[in-house]
Structure 1
Amino acid sequence: MTFLVLACALPQYGNWWPFFLVAFYLLVPFPLVISKRYGDSSGGTNPCREMAVFITSIMVISAFGLPVILARAPLAAPVIAWGAAWLSITANVIIFLTIMGFFMAFDNDDVDYSMW
Structure 2
Amino acid sequence: MLAMLGSIGMTMIILACALPSYKVWWPFFVVLFYLICPIPTLIAKRNQSDDDNSRITNSMFATIGIIISSFALPIVLARSMVIHWGACYLTLAGNVIAYITVLGYFFGYDSADSW
Tell me if TM exceeds 0.5.
Answer: yes
- Secondary structure of the corresponding residue to residue 21 of structure 2: coil
List structure 1 segments (4+ residues) > 2 angstroms apart after TM superposition.
none
Question: d(CA) in 2 for partners of 1:56 and 1:86?
Answer: 22
Question: d(CA) in 2 for partners of 1:110 and 1:29?
Answer: 19
Moved more, 97-106 or 28-37: 97-106
Tell me the percent identity.
46
Q: Which ranges in structure 1 are unaligned for 5 or more consecutive residues?
A: 112-116
Deviations 1:56-89 (A, max 9, x none): 000000100110100001xxxx100000000000
Give 1 or 2: higher helix fraction: 2
Question: d(CA) in 2 for partners of 1:31 and 1:46?
Answer: 14
* Count of residues paired in the alignment: 105
1:16 paired with 2:25, answer: yes
Q: Which ranges in structure 2 are unaligned for 5 or more consecutive residues?
A: 1-9
Match of 1:51 in 2: 58
- Give the CA deviation at 1:109: 4.3
TM-score (norm 1): 0.86
- Secondary structure of the corresponding residue to residue 13 of structure 1: coil
- Secondary structure of the corresponding residue to residue 111 of structure 2: coil
Q: CA RMSD in A?
A: 1.5
Aligned partner of 1:24: which letter? F
Aligned partner of 1:20: which letter? F
Which one has a bigger Cα radius of gyration?
1
- Give the CA deviation at 1:107: 2.1
- CA shift in 2, pair 1:110/1:54, >3 Å: closer
Pairwise mapping of residues 1-116 of structure 1 onto structure 2 (< 5 A)? 1-40=10-49, 42=50, 46-73=53-80, 78-110=81-113
Aligned partner of 2:89: which letter? W
